[in-house]
Amino acid sequence: MVIPLLALFGMVNSIQFTAMNTVTLKDLSGTSASGGNSMLSMVQMLSMSLAVTSAGALLATFEQGFGNGPPGVLPAFHATFICMGLITCASSWIFMQLSPQESRAVVHRTETAEG
């Protein structure tokens, strides 16, 4: 059960990063693409660090709420996992603000560059 779950998680992460990279870098010219890619990588690393910090803070908070010790650890992990999942789902709101015309323009530019 763990291997299919990890495979699915990896596929979703890969699709998410590809979509974010495409949307972020689509308007950059060839000369500024390198700097834009470096900036994107830095922002992604910072966001992952912030996510780890947030998860740790939530876990510590939930552990105190559910009680310290072995009986409270599993419910604290479950609550932390659910909260982090909701935060991740809420971030998709940013991508829903893109207009359909923008997404068509990205696809058209990609097809033009390839063909």
The helix (run of H) or strand (run of E) holding residue 76 is helix 70-96
Phi, then psi, of 97 in degrees rounded to 5: -80, -15
Can you give the pTM of this predicted structure?
0.64
Predicted confidence at residue 111, as pLDDT, reads 56
| pLDDT(33) > 60 | yes
What mean pLDDT value characterizes the chain?
A: 82
Q: Could you report the per-residue pLDDT of 13-23, keeping only the tens digit for each?
A: 888 778 777 77
Considering the domain boundaries, does residue 22 fall inside one?
A: no
Considering the domain boundaries, does residue 11 fall inside one?
A: no
Predicted confidence at residue 81, as pLDDT, reads 92
Considering the domain boundaries, does residue 19 fall inside one?
A: no
Least confident of 44-53, 84-93, 103-112: 103-112
User: In sequence order, what are the residues at sequence separation of 6 or more whose Cβ sits closer than 8 angstroms to the Cβ of residue 77?
Assistant: 59
Considering the domain boundaries, does residue 86 fall inside one?
A: yes
Q: Which domain holds residue 85?
A: 35-114
Considering the domain boundaries, does residue 71 fall inside one?
A: yes
Contact predicate 23/106, CB 8 Å: yes
Contact predicate 91/58, CB 8 Å: no
Q: Could you report the per-residue pLDDT of 45-83, keeping only the tens digit for each?
A: 898 899 999 999 999 999 988 877 777 789 999 999 999
Tell me the average pLDDT across 75-103: 83
Domain total in the chain: 1
Find the helix packing angle between 30-66 and 70-96, rounded to 10°: 150
